[in-house]
Structure 1
Amino acid sequence: MATRRRGVRDFVAPPFTRADVEAVSARFNEPEWLREMRLNAWDLYESLPMPTTQDEAWRRTDYRHINWETAGTLVPATGSGFEAIPEANRRPLLGDDQGAMIAFVDGECVHHEVNEALASQGVIFMDLHQAAAEHADLVKEHLFTHAVLPSADKFAALNAALWTHGVFLYVPRGKAVSLPAHSIFYNTQTGATLGHILVVLDEGAQIDYLHESLSTDMAQDASYVGATELILKDGANLRFVNLQDWGDGMFEFSHQRARVSNDGQLDWVTGQMGGKLVKAFMEIDLDGKGSWGRMSGVYFPAGQQFFDLDTQQNHNAPNTTSDLLYKGVLKDKAHTVWQGMIKALPGAQKTDGFQANRNMLMSDDARADSIPGLEIQADDVRCTHASATGQIEEELLFYLMARGIPRKDAEKLVVDGFFVPVLDRIPFENVRERMMAYIERKLLA
């Protein structure tokens, strides 16, 4: 008979209940269709097992050390305002003109503004609860129906059942929006928040959108269970930047998925800087002929941070193109896993897919696992991948130091140069500067 090793925890579920789902729905006086959606998702959640290291997608991610006693309790309203968010993150993205901004602190909406230039074009950018009430047809059509499905795994079902706050962005047909949208999720308290982002671009629509997830450092474990859905219809064009700088103690479990229709274009940049453990699924489906997607990522863990980033490029139609570049720098005893897959379904002829992962190790104890993959079911494709991991080049550091540059400054120059190809894809100069500041802070820590 099998016995459990002493001291080894099980993969236990957080202590949420059906009553929590009902309470969240009642608190926002949600329409009946949304309440039913939540409860159906909860039934699915209860039927699904917790992911374990026996599951291929989770084989390298052991999160059993999370303390659900603190990380599995919904964060209560704290009364903190917009000013609680660091000033640098609240600034307009382009010059002095704020496009559209919405911010949440501990799951509460504390700020919302939409420039008249966007409102006059019919752009909807608001709290997802408000959108479900005021734009029910749009939200009901797209929420958990096209991109992130509750059946993906137990954490996806949990988000569908218990999301506490969210953002809805809709750009009408043919509208090319010049000012960007910006949203912030900021946490100050230990506990759990569940955020959701739903973006719908109608035919020929165009916009740039930055989302940031941040928190203070926390002495006890906290959790964020998130979902992001990006839906681009024919000819739509979205530049989406998703940055996170969680504080110590945060565990993130998230699903992020995009669906791109005929001739649509998605330029998706992610930055992973903070958190105790991050498990993020990022998936792009090129559903329409001529659709194009680029996925770019930077990550910089230090200490004993662990990031598992799972990317997937699905070519579901002919004449589609995807391009992925993820670059990471690791310090101390940090550990990262990047698992990438390019899939070309039968009939997806003329597929052009590429993925590359590069890692730079700044200590002997850091570890980066890089696992590219191809699954090709069409016979007229060009799909390739590349991966490289190595220590920071001492010869290059010596060259810089021999010219009077201190070692720390030399390391910063090397790391900056390593990240620049990805950072240059962020369309907001002040955001690029903030990312450089994050990198410098990590290097000097």
Structure 2
Amino acid sequence: MSVNTERLFDRQVVTQLSQSQNEPTWMLKNRLQALEAASQLRLPKLEKTRIDNWNFTDVEPINPESAIASVDALPEDIRRFVSADGEDSLLIQKNSSPVYAQLPESLTRQGVVFTDLATALSKHPELVQPYFMTDGIRPDEHKLAALHAALWSGGAFLYLPKEVEVDVPFQVLFWASGKGIGTFPHLLIVADSHSKAHIVANFVSDEETDAVVNGMVEVFAGDGSNLTLASLHTHGVGTTDVAYRRTVTGKDAQVEWIVGDLNAGRTVSDNTTHMKGSGGNAQIKSITVGAREERANITSTVRHWGTHTESDIIARGVMKDKAQFIVNGITKIEKGAKKANGVQAEKVLMLNPEARGDANPILLIDENDVQAGHAASVGRIDPLQMFYLMSRGLSKREAERLIIFGFVGPVLDTIPFESLKERISSVIERKLT
């Protein structure tokens, strides 16, 4: 299906957006080139999922919001996704505007940069330009990437200097609110060599919000860096969520991704890690829970380029009602990536005969001296387990809950942030009621 983006988003809209953020000339040029490309490119082709009838463009892309004085000004159902005492690093964006930022002075003195992307473009262009949509996500990948490149707003930027280690997580909250809106948040993370940090990105919306969220995350993990990244998506039933994440790792870099795709509407989720340097390690852990008539296509990909690299993909999906989810795992070992080791396991649990969950493990091997393995399963709750638990006095709902949390436990139990684990658990509880 072709979408006339020139009619919906013209050059004047893009130019006004760029000027409102006081961007350099090169960024405006990039935006206009991406807008032109969007009118020519096709939507991404997804495994067993048709998205050509989904709305990605019939939205208002510029929705400015006013700054807030503190986290206490957030609605209670939004505030529960963040914590903000004096030692926390936090950035909040509502629709197309950054509305709150907090960074401890101790980190500023160490050279850490944590701010909205527009400010980073103005104050630190030398840190942004080499990375922004160049080697991670490219505007010419497909129509959704081009639209994002043309219309991104606000966003967040994190730079970790060499050998700086930060124990308290950096938090980013992208909040969509309203009817007929489009948000295009971009999170760019650049970690210099031997740095260490934890980053938690929450993508949320109000329950009544009718929105299209086209978000991108780019992560560049320098040699010897150690990053733990969590991305939690909890949009409402009226929201279409597009989430593309790209990670590029250096020599001996350690990257752990924790992804919770827990939306109530439509979801396209793509997490791809390029292991460029030798000796790196990547772990991708994802949880998906579908209910009602939700639709989602979720893909985790690791591409091994460097030698002696290791990766592990673990995905768990739970489907109920008439939900339909596709869970893909792709391990690609490129020619020359000797001694690489890539494994993956995808499992889907279906709670209703009308639910549909597919688990697709894919190994693509172009080198001989490597190791690789995969496992996948799709099934229903074992009636013997249910009988045993109910014979011990549990109700059907209580027994089902225990089985489900045992099923997602291999991912949930490894989450290093207790607060994030609690948030994910509470969202799963709500979706299963």
| TM-score bucket of the superposed structures, by smaller chain | over 0.9
SS of 1:300 mapped into structure 2: strand
Question: What residue is the counterpart of 2:192 in the other structure?
Answer: 202
Question: What residue is the counterpart of 2:24 in the other structure?
Answer: 31
1 CA distance for matches of 2:206 and 2:315? 26
Question: What residue is the counterpart of 2:349 in the other structure?
Answer: 360
**Counterpart code for 1:237:** N
Question: What residue is the counterpart of 1:76 in the other structure?
Answer: 63
| Aligned residue runs from structure 1 range 24-423, under 5 A | 24-51=17-44, 55=45, 57=46, 59-66=48-55, 68-69=57-58, 72-79=59-66, 81=68, 82=71, 83-85=73-75, 86-92=78-84, 98-190=87-179, 191-218=181-208, 221-423=210-412
Q: Structure 1 residues 78 and 205, CA, compared in 2 at 3 Å: closer, same or farther?
A: closer
Q: CA deviation at 1:62?
A: 2.8
2 CA distance for matches of 1:307 and 1:319? 34
Q: CA deviation at 1:267?
A: 0.4
Contact kept? 2:48, 2:326, Cα under 8 Å:
no
2 CA distance for matches of 1:115 and 1:41? 36
**Counterpart code for 1:77:** P
1 CA distance for matches of 2:4 and 2:311? 36
Contact kept? 1:251, 1:275, Cα under 8 Å:
no
Contact kept? 1:296, 1:325, Cα under 8 Å:
yes
Q: CA deviation at 1:80?
A: 7.5
1 CA distance for matches of 2:288 and 2:4? 28
Contact kept? 1:266, 1:294, Cα under 8 Å:
yes
Q: Provide, for residues 112-151 of structure 1, a one-character-per-residue CA deviation record: whole Å limited to 9, x for no partner.
A: 0001232222111100000000001010111111211112
Contact kept? 1:132, 1:139, Cα under 8 Å:
yes
1 CA distance for matches of 2:33 and 2:162? 32
SS of 2:292 mapped into structure 1: coil
**Counterpart code for 1:32:** T
Q: CA deviation at 1:76?
A: 2.0
SS of 2:32 mapped into structure 1: helix
SS of 2:243 mapped into structure 1: strand
Aligned with 1:425 (options 408, 414, 430): 414
Contact kept? 2:292, 2:322, Cα under 8 Å:
yes
Q: Provide, for residues 182-216 of structure 1, a one-character-per-residue CA deviation record: whole Å limited to 9, x for no partner.
A: 00001111210101010000000100000000001
Contact kept? 2:339, 2:371, Cα under 8 Å:
yes
Q: Provide, for residues 393-435 of structure 1, a one-character-per-residue CA deviation record: whole Å limited to 9, x for no partner.
A: 2211221111111111111111111112111222211111111
Q: CA deviation at 1:158?
A: 1.2
2 CA distance for matches of 1:68 and 1:369? 28
SS of 2:244 mapped into structure 1: strand
1 CA distance for matches of 2:371 and 2:4? 42
Further displaced range: 191-200 or 406-415:
406-415
**Counterpart code for 2:287:** V
Question: What TM-score do you get using the length of structure 2 for normalisation?
Answer: 0.94
Q: CA deviation at 1:375?
A: 1.1
2 CA distance for matches of 1:352 and 1:320? 6
**Counterpart code for 1:345:** E
Question: What residue is the counterpart of 1:16 in the other structure?
Answer: 9
After superposition, the CA RMSD in angstroms is 1.7
Gaps of 5+ in 2: none
Q: CA deviation at 1:65?
A: 4.4
Q: Provide, for residues 13-70 of structure 1, a one-character-per-residue CA deviation record: whole Å limited to 9, x for no partner.
A: 552222221111011111112112212222322331344xxx4x3552334043854x
Gaps of 5+ in 1: 1-9
Q: CA deviation at 1:295?
A: 0.3
**Counterpart code for 1:108:** S
2 CA distance for matches of 1:439 and 1:244? 12
